[in-house]
Structure 1
Amino acid sequence: MLNDINEINKLISSLNKYFACNGESEVSFLLQNSKPNLTITGYDGLNGGNYYYELMLELEIEDYVKMQSLIDSYSNSISDVLKLFNRSSNEHITKVKIVPAFRQYIDWTNLEGITDKQKVLESIERIKEIMIDVATDTGIQQHDEEYKEIYKTLDAWLNKLKLTNPNNFENLWQWYSRWSQYDLHSYDSRKVFVHGLYKNLFEILKKADEKTMLPPYVETGWDRIDRKVYKMRKDLLSAHDEEDFQKIGLLGRETLISLAQEVYDSTLHKTEDGVQPSEADSKRMLDAYLNYELKGDTNERIRKFAKAAIDLANNVVHDRTASRKEASVCLISVTSVVSIIKVLQDSK
């Protein structure tokens, strides 16, 4: 019975319900967010035969780290409650083990300012298309330069992601030497070979956690501001609790202050209420900057949009109940303000 995945899922669901009803939310969260796996650890021939299992619960690393000090206690609690749901006289779960996930993690910040996930996947697809085309129909000369250029770029990207390039064919003539061998004598066999070449890598990249994907950011050339934005982006990728998300908000506030100090000129940019802004009053400084740089009816829409972005950024960076959603909005709104101001400065 316990070798049936449906029975395992039913068991985990029942355990989750039990702990939730008992008010043990941490254990319930663990069961909801872990990947279960049962392995046979022993067998004896008594009373018709008995099978002994270990239940392994695999948690994402950030969840495991938060619970690490209580992992042994949670394992014992689950092990005790398991006995309530044992419906078989010859199958016994004798051990519960909670472990952190063991897999290839992708740190997309290593490609920050260079490329993004979509372009990496598109490059792999294009390499595959070229390899199949030349091995089944078109000539090598027609595609070799394009292939070599994409191959070199993709190889560099994979190296930054700490991933091994499964394709050793640096040019199409090397690929020709391989497909000319007897085991790839047919077109179908060559297609299968090419698809298999990148299969594992493509799956790793495609399934990479979407929270690691960030909107693109074009550097402004203002070093202090660019450093702060990149710090926000990197911290968002590793953030997992309220304190982490609040730190991103604080960084957003510092970024707006740095931006305001970069462009505000008190001799030109007069505040609406006549109050001289302090060095940390980014809203007054940026509003005054926009009123001057975007004055006139023709700039009204752009001015309103820019001010709305500043208001949103300021509201979010002061939010004390931060979650991933608020931190992400903070990053997007702050980078929007930075980009708008940079365009205005460049057009002067």
Structure 2
Amino acid sequence: MRESELWIEEPTDPLDPWGKIRRSVNIDLIKNLARGPIAGDDDLESAMSLARLVRGAYTSFGTDGTANVEREESWIILRALRIMLERRGLTFDPPWRDYDSFKSHWVSVGASGSGGWQARRDIIGRHFDPIIEALEKAEDVQIRSDLVEPVSPHAKTGWTRVDTEIAGLRQRFRTATAMQDYRDCGNRSVAVLEALSATVFDPAKHWAAGEKPPPVDKTDLRVGAYIAERMGGKENEELRGLVKKASALAHKVKHSPRADRVNAGIAADAVILLANMLRRLAE
């Protein structure tokens, strides 16, 4: 979540719509972030947002003595940040725990007095800049490891159900952090395949008359029949093989007790590429 979502804005006088706005930190939300990743949230983005909030709060307190975060909340936000960073394997252990101990620290290192504001900013920088830089690098890696984009100039297939499932898969992969999340990516990859199966397969065109067509979850049979009708002959064997492999990958991740980002990403990439291949066949 963005940094703005970590704040609460309320009118100082509810009866005066033109009155002043009081801004306070959403301490309950920050406590929830410390307890563990929130479903549907990008935990990395939230860690970056909290790091910037905490840095700003302590910078304001150390330089001009003001902050939107109350003294009794200053230790909560710092502790929450430390816990979130630990989840990402980052060590953050400044020599203070709240506003009061921060002030004691800067006094002990000779950063007090009217001319000490820059020294206090330097103290903040030494402790916060490395973790913010590490989070930025992690964001760069996450962006580069996001799911594949098709070579087609079209952003979507144009098949509503398929595009909806792909969008859901992308969102789930982007926010996944734990094994259960990656298994759900496998489940959503299967949903993309079933959406393709429901979209491209037409029993009247792709199945023998008088025979019961396979159910929608038999994606390799239904999509394979569609490919055979579009291409014909042995020339379609490789593409039909891709359908079977993509389905096998998706189901493997869906049921794996060791699902991780690499395997979930490969399965997701496979079904997204398959969707765009089939859309190209339709053209």
More strand by share: 1
In our comparison, the structure showing a higher alpha carbon Rg is 1
What's the TM-score bracket when you normalise by the shorter of the two chains? 0.3 to 0.5
Q: Which has the higher contact order (CA 8 A, sep 6+)?
A: 2
Q: Could you state the TM-score of these two structures normalised by the residue count of structure 2?
A: 0.46
